[in-house]
């Protein structure tokens, strides 16, 4: 009942014997407990309840449970971005003097963590080729505490030797953290392959609409998860309830979106490969992909929604292609419901020299496509026209 003397006081929520079908959005920053004894019990674990949104809130819990179910995890944590999840996984576990082996084709900001932030904190790092378990083994030192890889790399779509690296990590007593953003649990469930920690940028395919920035991290060992949760609350890595609410809504269609985009990606890859203006197509399940056999073994028929291709003609041709493909968003992200196109040389890999880019297979004419759910014939036509325009430039 409303307070008759002032509208400042909060009004009781109306009673209803029926419940909303849609998950309620709960933006409250703070929660009121009935008395100090109850609050005390909440802090000591004797009573279940929220206290302050930076420490946790219902919309994050609902979303985390959904991703847990897909990944076969328990107690996963939703965070304010994919990088917040990478940060929680690294800083929640590592201490000064530890060493980390990272895949040499990690996401750009994760590479920056390896190159700059971790060394600044006294944590040494080495990069190694995650498609080659011997290269990863050679990088391990007595003080190595963690290996961080992605299942499928950006943008060359190289496929990590997940089983080989998991066996190596087990053998050497090193934790294996897997960023599963590109592959999603629809393509691969890293815990089933021996991963200790699974990370997501939920911003991408899981949320799926480019309107929420979120991350997720879960560990096999509940003590590790608890440590990451404490770190997240202390560093303020917690997500916004509204973003969690949007992402939970996005996840209702995740499997349908993923399957549709994946089928279209396979068709688009084959279509691009037979166009005269295309010099190279990378798609894990195509027989000409460098990791084809390994991709088949690890991913089965789940090639994912990402396709990378290359055209000749340098920057002029690249500009012409993007301008001609005007209906396809030119944007350095992935996993949107609509197809997006990115140019690694001027976005994700711009910090590398042209020689360093060439060494990992990125040229001025390399494009990465995150395939969405448009009809496949629309996309094939649009790309064909854009590639013709680039060839004429």
Ligand X SMILES: Cc1ncc(COP(=O)(O)O)c(C=O)c1O
- Helix H, strand E, coil C: the string for 300-322 is CCCCCCEEEEECCCHHHHHHHHH
Q: How many residues bind ligand X (CB under 6 A)?
A: 13
Q: Is 63 in the site for ligand X (CB under 6 A)?
A: no
What is the nearest approach in angstroms of ligand X to the Cβ of residue 181? 4
Q: Which of 84, 29, 20 shows the shortest CA–CA distance to 53? A: 29
Q: Which is nearer to ligand X, 59 or 201 (CB)?
A: 201
Q: Is 181 in the site for ligand X (CB under 6 A)?
A: yes
For the chain, the first-to-last Cα distance in angstroms comes to 70
User: Binding ligand X by CB under 6 A: which of 105, 184, 201, 340?
Assistant: 201
Whole-angstrom distance, CA of residue 63 vs CA of residue 355: 42
What is the nearest approach in angstroms of ligand X to the Cβ of residue 79? 9
Question: Which tokens hold the place of 129?
Answer: 């080729």
Q: Is 87 in the site for ligand X (CB under 6 A)?
A: no
Interface positions, 223-242, toward ligand X (CB under 6 A): none
Q: Which is nearer to ligand X, 131 or 203 (CB)?
A: 203
Whole-angstrom distance, CA of residue 391 vs CA of residue 393: 6
Q: Which is nearer to ligand X, 82 or 361 (CB)?
A: 82
For residue 93, what is the enclosing H or E element? none
Q: Which is nearer to ligand X, 215 or 313 (CB)?
A: 215
Q: Which is nearer to ligand X, 125 or 203 (CB)?
A: 203
Q: What are the C-alpha distances in Å from 152 to residues 75, 157, 282, 348, 362?
A: 25, 5, 12, 15, 16
Phi, psi of 181 (to 5 degrees): -60, -50
Q: Residue with structure tokens 């010099």?
A: 279
Q: Give the binding range for ligand X (CB under 6 A) out of 77-85, 217-225, 247-255, 376-384.
A: 77-85
Q: Residue with structure tokens 């994700």?
A: 348
Q: Give the binding range for ligand X (CB under 6 A) out of 7-15, 176-184, 189-197, 362-370.
A: 176-184
What torsion, rounded to 10 degrees, do the Cα atoms 326, 331, 334, 337 define?
A: -50
User: Binding ligand X by CB under 6 A: which of 67, 71, 101, 107?
Assistant: 107
- Helix H, strand E, coil C: the string for 145-187 is EEEEEECECCCCCCECCHHHHHHHHHHHCCEEEEECCCCHHHH
**Cα-only R_g, the chain:** 23
Question: Which tokens hold the place of 279?
Answer: 């010099």
Q: Give the binding range for ligand X (CB under 6 A) out of 14-22, 58-66, 80-88, 358-366.
A: 80-88
Q: Give the binding range for ligand X (CB under 6 A) out of 27-35, 79-87, 158-166, 308-316.
A: 79-87
- x-marked contacts with ligand X along 129-158 as a string, rule CB under 6 A: ---------------------x---x----
User: Binding ligand X by CB under 6 A: which of 56, 58, 76, 82?
Assistant: 82
Q: Which is nearer to ligand X, 204 or 271 (CB)?
A: 204
Q: Is 213 in the site for ligand X (CB under 6 A)?
A: yes
Judged by the rule CB under 6 A, the positions of this chain that interact with ligand X are 81-83, 107, 150, 154, 179, 181-182, 201, 203, 213, 215
């Amino acid at each position: 009942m409303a307070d008759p003397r002032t509208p400042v006081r909060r009004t009781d929520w109306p009673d209803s014997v029926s419940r909303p079908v849609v998950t309620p959005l709960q933006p409250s920053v703070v929660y009121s407990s009935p008395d100090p004894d109850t609050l005390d019990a909440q802090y000591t674990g004797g009573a279940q309840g929220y206290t302050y949104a930076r420490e946790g809130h219902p919309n994050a819990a609902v979303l985390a449970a959904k991703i847990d179910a897909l990944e076969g995890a328990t107690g996963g944590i939703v965070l304010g971005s994919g990088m917040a999840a990478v940060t929680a996984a690294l800083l929640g576990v590592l201490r000064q003097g530890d060493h980390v082996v990272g895949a040499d084709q990690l996401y750009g900001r994760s590479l920056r963590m390896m190159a700059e932030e971790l060394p600044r904190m006294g944590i040494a790092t080495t990069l190694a080729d995650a498609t080659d378990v011997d290269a990863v083994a050679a990088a391990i030192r007595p003080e190595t505490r963690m290996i961080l890889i992605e299942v499928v790399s950006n943008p060359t779509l190289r496929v990590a030797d997940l089983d080989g690296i998991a066996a190596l990590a087990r053998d050497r007593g090193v934790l294996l953290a897997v960023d599963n953003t590109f592959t999603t649990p629809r393509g691969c469930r890293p815990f089933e392959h021996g991963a200790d920690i699974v990370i997501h940028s939920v911003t991408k395919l899981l949320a799926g609409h480019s309107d929420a920035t979120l991350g997720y991290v879960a560990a096999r060992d509940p003590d590790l998860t608890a440590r990451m949760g404490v770190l997240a609350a202390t560093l303020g890595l917690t997500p916004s309830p509204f973003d969690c609410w949007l992402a939970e809504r996005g996840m209702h269609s995740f499997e349908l979106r993923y399957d549709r985009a994946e089928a279209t990606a396979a068709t688009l890859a084959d279509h691009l490969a037979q166009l005269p203006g295309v010099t190279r197509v990378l798609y894990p399940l195509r027989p000409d992909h460098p990791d084809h056999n390994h991709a088949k073994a690890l991913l089965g028929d789940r090639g994912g929604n990402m396709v990378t291709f290359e055209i000749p003609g340098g920057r002029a041709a690249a500009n012409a292609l993007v301008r001609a493909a005007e209906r396809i968003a030119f944007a350095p992200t992935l996993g949107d419901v609509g197809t997006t196109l990115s140019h690694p040389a001027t976005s994700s890999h711009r910090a590398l020299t042209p020689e360093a880019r060439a060494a990992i297979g990125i040229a001025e004419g390399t494009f990465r496509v995150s395939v969405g759910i448009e009809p496949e014939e629309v996309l094939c036509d649009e790309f064909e026209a854009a590639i013709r325009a680039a060839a004429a430039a």
